[in-house]
Amino acid sequence: MRSLQGRSKRRGGRRRDTGKEAEKAEEEEEEEEEEEEEEEEEEEEEEEEEEEEEEEEEEEEEEEEEEGISESERVVLRTLKNTLQNQ
C-alpha cells in the first residue's frame, strides 16, 4: 500500500514535480546556463588572444623585413620567443 504522500504526487499515472523537485530542476538549469556562458566567454577570450598574437607576429615580420632579416633567422627568433613565453 502506498503512503498518502506517494498518492498525492501521482495523478493520471504521471508523477508531478513537487515544489522541491521543481526548484532543484530550476537551479540545475540555471547552473547549466551559467556554465555555458562561462565557456563562451573563455572561448571569446582565447580567440582574442590568438588574434592579438597573430597581429603581433605580423608586425614583427614587417619590422624584420624592413631590417633585412632572412626567413630562417625569423624562424629561429620566433621559436626562441615562443620557447621563452611557454616557460
Residue 25 and residue 80: Cα distance in Å, rounded?
52
**Which pLDDT score is estimated for 80?**
93
Distance CA 39, CA 46 (A): 11
With cut-offs at 50, 70 and 90, classify the pLDDT of residue 3.
low
Note down the domain range covering 32.
17-86
Provide the domain count of the chain: 1
Q: Give domain status of residue 79, yes or no.
A: yes
User: pLDDT tens digit string along 41-77?
Assistant: 999 999 999 999 999 988 888 887 777 777 788 789 8
d(CA 68, CA 17): 73
In a domain, 11, yes or no: no
Q: Is residue 8 part of a domain?
A: no
Q: What is the pTM of this model?
A: 0.46
Contact criterion met (CB below 8 Å) for 18 and 9: yes
If DSSP codes are grouped into helix, strand and coil, which group holds residue 12? coil
